[in-house]
């Protein structure tokens, strides 16, 4: 069979696709739509079957031959009504070379039952099979709907503001970057953008999995798909609808349906030899056992052994496996997506579940990536307020991120910025800034900047570090300000949860300075740290970690990052996880998993969910094979009839599907 088909060898549809393309003529025609699912024809077939059985058996009419033949015709009609779509699919499959599939088995079993006089059982095979298919399709449909409802956050129209202030409703696809739109309370943002005016709280749970509303204030980014809870905002579009965060996330989830996990591929290969083997065993039971009886001088009992062979054919269908396993993985994908964990392919569950080593990037991954004042270190004859005040004066007109962080620290500690009273502002890129205030020259910058102005720094000061801002006033050293990004609130928790999950090898690879990396590693309790790395250096160190893990015979290696410089490592990892809230396009493309909320604690959750999904699927495999084997033996020995075969096939399939659905929670 074609490996690209979304079906297993038994012919069961691999339900759980977000969207299913029309089958080509080279693929088995076995999807729920193609076998005509629907309960009303089955109810009619069952009713006709009952009437036909009553007539044909003589329970109505007292054995009148005309009525008996009429009953036989009614039974045939009921069989065609129930099994017609299955017969048609089996014929089309045979025409295209697909023989050993479920349609073939159902057709042969019901035809054989009809031929030996078990007509009500022939109808039962078709009716109960199609009822089972109906409920299995319903279960798959609920899984598809849960993801589509979660991620398909498309908004049909937007309130666009014209230059004269008038508002007009236009299709969301017509909104272009730079357009100003109005979003009212209760409405969903149609595009990504920057808040131009207004204040509101946004429900971002569908996009990030974060339950706490996020404030939307001027200058802040807002993502498409978020809902305005209160107030109204004016949003400047930054990306068209097709490139919005919601659209990209939906594309990632759609890609998930195209990849198959190792266990799932095993089942497809298993079905290719399992189904023909069972057909051969059934033929042996139907032919060899009667011949053996003849050789022993006994009655051949052809009908008895043919019946047992037909029962074995019905039991043998690996429908439960090839339906429940894809659905189990898809349910796992859907359950993870509900928590803001978007896994691009089912094959990645194995890499996540087998993880033994996790390597983190720093900025934007374990830290927030926003410059903030970490520490104030005043000189002996200064204090923190004097140090910070001088730094604010020197950088009050600067747009440099470090100057912005210093102004932010003043506002947090002392409120509004002091009125500008400085003159002669000067800024030199890569060095620092200076000004005149209160008759004194104020300097703020790196060590070289103060050295150039003859400021003597204490010998105990560390070497040049871009996160240290040195400050002087009137030729006297006032102290230094340590600036860096802060650990994310759940950074330490993320590492702790990984260790609780049995992940003992945790490392940090970053292009940031050694001092900044060491501070974060100490906060998170990470022992292995490699700092100051260019992208090629980061990849080289990561390769060494992989080689070390492989040499120890351990599991897979994960990498968690968000920047363009992380893309090579994300692609190289057994599973690369990108922080969706801050990840660049390159990181999102290279990653296998996207954590939409940007919380590093979701890494451990992704691993736990992958392990749970695999346990559920493993339990299904054991359950189905055990029940099949038991009933196959019973069918061969004559202890299980056609109705028991239906229980073994449809019943265990439904049970396995229901169990697979647990992965959605």
Residues classed as catalytic: 361
Task: Provide the H-helix boundaries in 224-382.
Answer: 245-256, 262-295, 302-316, 319-338, 348-353
Please, how many CA atoms are within 13 Å of residue 531, restricted to the half-sphere of its CB?
Answer: 15
From 298, 66, 234, 254, select the one nearest 147 (Cα to Cα). 254
d(CA 1, CA 99): 10
- CA 254-131-657 angle, to 5 degrees, is 45
Residue whose structure tokens are 């905002």: 233
The arrangement of strands across the sheet holding 556-561 comes to 341-343, 593-595, 575-579, 556-561, 355-360, 505-509, 528-530
Chain centroid, CA 496 distance in Å: 23
Q: Are strands 193-197 and 233-237 parallel, antiparallel or unpaired?
A: antiparallel
DSSP-derived 3-state class of residue 226: coil
User: Rounded to whole angstroms, what are the CA distances from 134 to 128, 138, 147, 530, 536?
Assistant: 10, 6, 20, 56, 53
Q: Are strands 468-473 and 341-343 parallel, antiparallel or unpaired?
A: unpaired
d(CA 83, CA 77): 10
From 378, 397, 394, 358, select the one nearest 554 (Cα to Cα). 358
In sign, the C-alpha dihedral spanning 539, 544, 547, 553 is negative
What is residue 456's DSSP assignment?
P
d(CA 155, CA 241): 9
Instruction: Write out the two tokens for 174.
Output: 């017509």
Residue whose structure tokens are 């200076």: 434
d(CA 102, CA 86): 9
- For residues 201 and 213, the answer to whether their CB atoms sit within 8 Å is yes
The arrangement of strands across the sheet holding 233-237 comes to 167-171, 157-161, 180-183, 233-237, 193-197, 221-222
Question: Mind giving me the DSSP string for 106-172?
Answer: HHHHHHHHHHTT-HHHHHHHHHHHHHHHHHHHHHHHHHHHHHHHHH----SEEEEEPTTS-EEEEEG
CB within 8 A of 268, min separation 6: which ones? 3, 8, 9, 260, 322
CB within 8 A of 21, min separation 6: which ones? none
CB neighbour class for 571 (10 Å; exposed up to 12, middle 13-18, buried from 19) = middle
In sign, the C-alpha dihedral spanning 175, 177, 182, 187 is positive
From 159, 10, 17, 177, select the one nearest 90 (Cα to Cα). 10
Q: Torsion angle of alpha carbons 432, 438, 440, 443, nearest 10°?
A: -10
């Amino acid at each position: 069979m074609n490996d690209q088909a979304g079906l297993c060898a038994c012919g069961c549809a691999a339900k759980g696709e977000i969207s299913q393309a029309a089958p080509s003529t080279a693929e088995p025609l076995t999807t729920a739509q193609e076998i005509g699912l629907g309960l009303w024809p089955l109810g009619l077939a069952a009713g006709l079957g009952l009437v036909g059985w009553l007539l044909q058996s003589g329970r109505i009419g007292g054995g009148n031959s005309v009525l008996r033949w009429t009953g036989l015709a009614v039974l045939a009609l009921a069989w065609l009504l129930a099994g017609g779509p299955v017969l048609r699919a089996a014929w089309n499959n045979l025409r295209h070379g697909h023989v050993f599939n479920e349609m073939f088995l159902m057709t042969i079993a019901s035809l054989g039952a009809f031929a030996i006089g078990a007509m009500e059982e022939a109808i039962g095979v078709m009716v109960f099979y199609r009822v089972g298919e109906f409920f299995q399709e319903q279960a798959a449909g609920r899984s598809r709907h849960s993801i589509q409802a979660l991620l398909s956050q498309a908004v049909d129209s937007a309130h666009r503001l014209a230059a004269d202030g008038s508002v007009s409703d236009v299709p969301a696809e017509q909104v272009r970057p730079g357009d100003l739109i109005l979003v009212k309370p209760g409405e969903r943002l149609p595009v990504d953008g920057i808040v131009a005016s207004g204040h509101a709280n946004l429900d971002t749970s569908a996009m990030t999995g974060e339950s706490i509303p996020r404030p939307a204030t001027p200058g802040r980014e807002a993502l498409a798909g978020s809902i305005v809870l209160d107030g109204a905002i004016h949003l400047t579009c930054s990306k068209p609808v097709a490139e919005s965060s919601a659209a990209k996330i939906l594309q990632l989830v759609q890609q998930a349906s195209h990849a198959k996990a190792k266990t799932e591929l095993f089942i497809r290969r298993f079905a290719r030899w399992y189904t023909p083997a069972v057909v051969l065993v059934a033929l042996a039971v139907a032919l060899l056992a009667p011949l053996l009886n003849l050789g022993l001088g006994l009655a051949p009992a052809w009908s008895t052994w043919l019946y047992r062979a037909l029962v074995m054919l019905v039991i043998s269908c690996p429908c439960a496996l090839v339906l429940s396993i894809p659905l189990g993985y898809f349910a796992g994908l859907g359950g993870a997506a509900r928590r803001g964990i978007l896994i691009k392919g089912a094959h990645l569950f194995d890499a996540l579940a087998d993880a033994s080593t996790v390597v983190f990037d720093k900025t934007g991954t374990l830290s927030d990536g926003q410059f903030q004042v970490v520490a104030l270190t005043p000189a002996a004859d200064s204090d923190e307020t004097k140090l910070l005040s001088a730094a604010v004066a020197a950088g009050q007109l600067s747009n440099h991120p470090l100057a912005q962080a210093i102004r932010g620290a003043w506002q947090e500690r002392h409120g509004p910025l002091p009125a500008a009273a400085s003159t002669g502002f000067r800024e030199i890129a890569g060095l620092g800034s200076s000004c005149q205030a209160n008759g004194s020259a104020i300097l703020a910058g790196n060590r070289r900047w103060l050295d150039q102005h003859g400021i003597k720094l204490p010998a105990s000061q560390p070497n040049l570090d871009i996160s240290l801002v040195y400050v002087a006033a009137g030729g006297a050293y006032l102290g230094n300000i340590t600036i860096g990004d802060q650990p994310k609130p759940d950074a330490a928790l993320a590492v702790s949860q990984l260790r609780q999950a049995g992940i003992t090898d945790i490392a940090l690879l970053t292009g940031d300075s050694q001092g900044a990396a060491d501070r974060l590693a100490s906060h998170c309790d990470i022992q292995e740290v490699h700092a100051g790395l260019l992208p090629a250096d980061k990849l080289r160190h990561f390769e060494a970690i992989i080689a070390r893990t492989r040499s120890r015979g351990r599991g897979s290696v994960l990498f968690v990052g968000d920047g363009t410089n992380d893309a090579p490592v994300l692609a190289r990892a057994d599973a690369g996880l990108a922080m969706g809230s801050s990840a660049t396009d390159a990181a999102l493309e290279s990653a296998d998993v996207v954590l939409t909320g940007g919380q590093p604690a979701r890494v451990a959750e992704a691993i736990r969910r992958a392990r749970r999904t695999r346990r559920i699927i493993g339990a299904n495999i054991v359950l189905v094979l055990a029940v099949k084997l038991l009933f196959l033996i019973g069918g061969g020995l004559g202890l299980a009839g056609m109705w028991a075969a239906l229980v073994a096939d449809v019943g265990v399939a439904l049970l396995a599907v229901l169990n697979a659905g647990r992965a959605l929670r």
